[in-house]
Chain A
């Protein structure tokens, strides 16, 4: 369901009524071996995987907003592989592997100040599969630090709106592991808000395994009941620029100006068939 106030991907904890169907046995009609994610590596790094996958930082760009910002922030990255999730719907993809509208999860390598892996994921991953996806990827790499860019839906934010009203982009919050030393002034995501899905699975792994990690969450805009990325959503991510430099993930660069931000938005979110709400896309 995809209309206000009902949204997709609602996982009900009230599944107690389903227990009658499942109480007898654990049902799963697809064999386990056909559900596992797998990585296809590029031929030139097949022989030196161990060397390439021992990095200082991994940067995840999740959902189209996070992926588009990270893609623009690291223009000199080199593609080294792609992570396939068997159920991901790829039929609208084109042959150009770097097309931002392709539903893919590409893995890149960049060596700005320190060796860094970049993972840009554009396909939807259900909450039930987030664990398998994230654990498979993290079991193949070694890293000291993880930085994740993801989005928050405006309808899911719980905050006191009586004085300030509903929050609007640019609005950014973060969550860090217990061992992460913060070096920016971005606020922590306030209780009782929480995060689900792939970023939650990655951060849980980091917390449990004592790997330093930070998750940056930029707010999507609520447009006619749908959660949509705007230029301001991407602009909010740029508040992390100084952190990226301090974490030695970036060696140079500068903040994006408004023209650059609009171009990032146009190249990732506007295609020929996507002309609705034009006035809201170019604020």
Chain B
């Protein structure tokens, strides 16, 4: 049910062999979406198409990136952007998916990604740091996971080793060991003096729960089974002013897409992120 509508004059084959970057659905602090906003503005990408989905809440607004001050640009809830040299394509998803249709939306996204021959896919998501154990909190806030298809890409593996991301890589087997209880809250319970005993692990076949990732892990799993080369980047954070988180994650994305020297620019839509200035009349004497 997810339809892709390219802008008039755009050749869909231009998406082939580009790197696709997209945010996770319903992730904590909307880290994926904030990072994508930064990337679109700073890399000066142009909108090349729209998607139409019944599973995302509808929203519209004027130009969030102010690329052209006089434009009649109408932003919709899910769009795709591309740079001039057609090496980077970015999907921005501006509204939440209706939770009960999340799995269907994941499947639709996977089907569309499979229909295009992307070089590889980068999935950006937040994860809930408040439910992490001490080891997690003391380590790098970025964690990555690769699908089997991307693991087999030796050139990509060399890049990962060069930037020392093997140290922050999670493997599905590590998560599956603890799939019957919340590995994140176990540390909290012990700290609170509650007697905690690890239950016997029972193989249920269910996906492990990564709190705060929304449907991002589900998309990772689906792409893994469907042989799509995908890099899942999780940024552990908490709710609040996440502009700095988005900036740091965007810098990490820059390492992967070979763009280390980006001049970062904040999008116009980040104005009044936490409300405007106070009424000046409040302070007159």
| Chain A residues engaging chain B, CB cutoff 8 angstroms | 11-28, 127-128, 130-132, 134-135, 158-163, 165-166, 175-180, 182, 188-201, 203-205, 207-210, 215
CB of A175 to closest CB in B, whole Å: 6
Q: Which residues of A contact B101 (CB under 8 A)?
A: 26
Asked if A192 and B102 sit within 8 Å, CB to CB, the answer is no
Residues of A within 8 A of B239 (CB): 14
CA distance A31 to B202 in the complex (A): 34
What total count of A-B pairs have CB within 8 Å? Answer: 161
Q: Are B276 and A210 in contact (CB under 8 A)?
A: no
**Which B residues are in CB contact (< 8 Å) with A28?**
100
Q: Are B102 and A26 in contact (CB under 8 A)?
A: yes
A157 to chain B, nearest CB (A): 10
Using CB atoms, name the residue of chain A closest to B50: A208
CB-based contact A204/B60 at 8 Å:
yes
Please determine whether A160 and B276 come into contact, CB atoms closer than 8 angstroms.
Answer: yes
Give A177 to B75 CA distance when docked, in angstroms: 9
Q: Which residues of A contact B52 (CB under 8 A)?
A: 204-205, 208
Contact A210 B8 (CB under 8 A): yes
Q: With contacts A24-B206, A191-B66, A204-B60 known, is A15 near B74, CB below 8 A?
A: no
Is B194 positioned at the interface, with any CB of A under 8 Å from its CB? no
- Contact status A175-B103, CB under 8 Å: no
Query: Which residues from chain A contact B99 at a C-beta distance below 8 Å?
Result: 15, 18-19, 21-22
A163 to B277, alpha carbons, bound, how many Å? 9
B254: Cβ under 8 A from any A Cβ: no
**A19 near B76 (CB under 8 angstroms)?**
no
Of B10-18, B185-193, B213-221, the one contacting chain A is B213-221
Question: Assuming A127-B58, A201-B58, is B64 touching A16 (CB within 8 A)?
Answer: no
Report 7 cross-chain contacts, Cβ distance below 8 Å, ordered by A residue.
A26-B102, A135-B54, A160-B276, A176-B74, A177-B72, A192-B271, A204-B58
Is the Cβ of A175 less than 8 Å from the Cβ of B277? no
B165 to chain A, nearest CB (A): 25
Count how many chain B residues have C-beta atoms less than 8 Å from C-beta atoms of the other chain: 59
> Which residue from chain A places its CB closest to the CB of B52 in the assembled complex?
A208
**Known contacts A14-B239, A16-B212, A23-B218; A194/B279 CB under 8 A:** no
Q: A191-B63, A192-B271 are in contact. Are A11 and B96 (CB under 8 A)?
A: yes
Of B26-34, B112-120, B152-160, B257-265, the one touching chain A: B26-34
Task: Tell me the minimal C-beta distance from A36 to chain B in angstroms.
Answer: 12
What B residues does A205 contact at CB under 8 A? 52
Q: Which residue of A lies closest to B128 (CB)?
A: A16
Instruction: Verify A161–B277 contact, CB threshold 8 A.
Output: yes
Measured between beta carbons, the chain B residues less than 8 angstroms from A22 are: 99-100, 102-103
Known: A192-B270, A203-B74. A19 touches B214 (CB 8 A): yes
A197 touches B276 (CB 8 A): no
In the complex formed, the residue of A with least CB distance to B269 is A192
> What is the bound-complex CA distance between A31 and B75, given in angstroms?
33
Tell me, yes or no, whether B196 is within 8 Å of chain A by CB.
Answer: no
**Bound: A17/B214 CA distance, A:** 8
Indicate which residue in A17, A132, A160, A166 contacts B277 across the interface (CB closer than 8 Å). Answer: A160
With a CB–CB cut-off of 8 A, which chain B residues contact A11? 57, 96
Decide yes or no: A178 and B57 within 8 Å by CB, A16-B214, A162-B277 being known contacts.
no
Contacts of A134 in B (CB 8 A): 58
Report yes or no: B60 in contact with A161, Cβ–Cβ below 8 A.
no
Is B170 on the interface with A (CB-CB < 8 A)? no
Closest B residue to A190 by CB, please name it. B62
Neighbouring B residues of A191 by C-beta, 8 Å: 61-64, 66, 268-269, 271
Known A25-B103, A159-B276; judge A204-B76 contact (CB<8 A).
yes
